[in-house]
Structure 1
């Protein structure tokens, strides 16, 4: 499996950052490319198995499933069910950790996936990492 990774440091406390990141249906609040999110089955947005339907600003549709929500280690894990992306078997985890010397938060975003035919792992990873960078920049705009 191929991998993609991005991270960022926030001045906001880890618990405050986690409060935003853990909301499975809250992605449009901080991801500029996502216009809307709707829970369409399987739970309430905090329960593994919950499925969300995301609509991009370009009209693209993404269906994703919450695979896990670790409140202690501050880790949501989700899988792509359907998306207009050159990947298959996509599984991703965000991890919010305390930055000990500042009291801020370190957020990492890690995914494993297989590239679809006609796309290299490096091309797919570069696209995902660019999306993560934009998303985390958006997160910086709503929390300190």
Structure 2
């Protein structure tokens, strides 16, 4: 009887492993900026003005629904991203938000940006972290552009461009 149960278990385990769906993904990027943390935090925490520091954002429109704050980012290359502010903590200089819908090939996207004192005097360290899934949640075959690599590349591109330009803006270059 034990052998029979073991054989059944071995037959079922591979099926459950293949049926798990997409794996969670994470992108984390950090930059050091030659500007005081308070100055950098002022730029980041201004949820309605991302276009001031992110080069891909043409405009930002804020709205409040049921006490929650949302922003609609209109992108220079076309398309929009609709985001919900989860929290903005001045003491920890940490902004949390999520994507409700948009053109990025991601699902269940949650992110935070932190500003901390940098390694040198008058410097800041900014860290941007996102956790998400690919947009296609079913098992293979996965349509082109809806896979893990596409999701990771898209988020990495957003973070790299944003942090590089945030550095320029905050440093006054």
Q: Which residue of 2 aligns with 1:27?
A: 50
**C-alpha deviation, 1:49, in angstroms:** 2.1
**C-alpha deviation, 1:100, in angstroms:** 4.7
1:134 aligns with 2:157: no
Residues of 2 paired with 1:14 and 1:104: CA distance? 7
Per-residue deviation, residues 87-106 of structure 1 (Å, max 9, x unmatched): 11000000000025333100
Q: Which residue of 1 aligns with 2:112?
A: 93
1:76 aligns with 2:99: no
Higher strand share: 1
**C-alpha deviation, 1:139, in angstroms:** 1.0
Q: Which residue of 2 aligns with 1:14?
A: 37
**Count of equivalent residues:** 140
SS in 2 for 1:72: coil
TM-score computed with the length of structure 1 as normaliser: 0.90
**C-alpha deviation, 1:127, in angstroms:** 1.9
Q: Which residue of 1 aligns with 2:75?
A: 56
Gaps of 5+ in 2: 1-23, 137-141
**C-alpha deviation, 1:58, in angstroms:** 2.2
**C-alpha deviation, 1:121, in angstroms:** 2.5
**C-alpha deviation, 1:129, in angstroms:** 1.1
Higher helix share: 2
1:121 aligns with 2:148: yes
Equivalent residues of 2:95, 2:112 under 8 A apart: yes
Residues of 2 paired with 1:123 and 1:85: CA distance? 9
Residues of 1 paired with 2:168 and 2:34: CA distance? 12
Per-residue deviation, residues 65-99 of structure 1 (Å, max 9, x unmatched): 00111111100000001101111100000000002
Which ranges of 4 or more aligned residues in structure 1 deviate by more than 6 Å?
Answer: none
Residues of 1 paired with 2:157 and 2:72: CA distance? 21
